[in-house]
Amino acid sequence: MKCAVLDDYQNVALSMADWSSLLNHIEIQVYNHHFEDQEELIAAIQDCEIVVIMRERTPFRKELLQRLPNLKLLVTTGKRNASIDLAAAAEQGITVCGTKGGGEGTTELTWALILGLARKLVAENEAVRSGGWQSTIGVDLHGKRLGLLGLGHIGSNVARIGQAFGMEVMAWSQNLTAEKAAAAGVTLASSKEELLESSDIVSIHLVLGDRTRGLIGARELERMRPTSFLINTSRSPIVDRDALLDALSSGTIAGAGIDVFEQEPLPQDDPFRSLPNVLATPHIGYVTEAAYRGFYKGIVEDIEAYLADSPVNVLSK
């Protein structure tokens, strides 16, 4: 059976797990580059019975799935993937499997973005490299308020680190209870608006869905302080793109740390690449050794189970 591994940007797919148990059963082709053109993608994988994808790097919508008649098994990293049309896959008899994750990379990157913005690390690093010296004044975190939209696993971890910095932490989500907030030592905001208006840093840790898509738009950004930062390591559509660009350009907010974008890879001329008050990273929150080893180990296990006619970690709509 032919198996394609897509979007292995770092060229590590075959070294992050032991694939030896599969080599007598499948022929593996790894692609390190992203297929921008769908026709090129189809030409590359149309003969494959198995396709492995990394997160949402390459969406598998109904139109694409219909043009892959040989596809029998689609394996994605993680326990969910909003870029796969699961209903269309089921209609075609395609088994879709996920994997466990691993590591705390997104939590750590969230704090890298917060600290990078607060201490103007990019500007100061560039100053040193170019022969200059101090040119900015950093923002103190101690005594400031960290506002968390979402207090799940990642949000709770981000909260603990904020508390270690001496920050007051407030959280809000549509399902967050006072009991859960209190258990984390976090103040429950009475509303989304209260959190936005009173926080110095707002960090998003929500799952993308009908209730969270567009949760932060122009009206919400206008409620934030002009000295505040917005951090998004969750999903891009939770924040209205145009509204955020306007807020950053006009100085409605001081800056943003962003790891997720509506179109990835980000187009070369995208303003998020050049705005001076944006600290942008190329969706690397989950890109850590622990996560990758967990992902690829799970991929091998999923393929083994499928070949044994006993699929595991099957995703359903």
Which pair of tokens denotes residue 286? 């989950």
Instruction: Determine contact, residues 89/60, Cβ cutoff 8 Å.
Output: yes
Q: Which helix (H) or strand (E) holds 147?
A: strand 145-149
What's the number of CA atoms in the CB half-sphere (13 Å) around residue 242?
Answer: 0
User: What torsion do the CA atoms of 265, 262, 31, 281 make, to the nearest 10 degrees?
Assistant: 50
E strand map for 223-280: 229-232, 255-258, 278-280
Catalytic, 34? Answer: no
Q: Which helix (H) or strand (E) holds 221?
A: helix 218-223
| Listed residue (215, 255, 273) closest to 114, CA to CA | 255
Catalytic residue among 283, 289, 301, 304: 283
Residue whose pair of structure tokens reads 């796969």 in the numeric block? 84
What's the number of CA atoms in the CB half-sphere (13 Å) around residue 162?
Answer: 30
Instruction: Determine contact, residues 48/25, Cβ cutoff 8 Å.
Output: no
Q: How far apart are CA 9 and CA 232, in angstroms?
A: 22
Which pair of tokens denotes residue 241? 């793109």
Q: End-to-end distance of the chain based on CA atoms, in angstroms?
A: 27
Catalytic, 235? Answer: yes
- Number of neighbours of residue 129 by Cβ within 10 angstroms: 8
Q: How far apart are CA 169 and CA 155, in angstroms?
A: 11
Catalytic, 153? Answer: no
Catalytic residue among 241, 264, 293, 304: 264
Which pair of tokens denotes residue 207? 């799952």
Residue 263: what residue type?
Q
171 has which bridge partners? 148, 188
User: What are the catalytic residues?
Assistant: 235, 264, 283
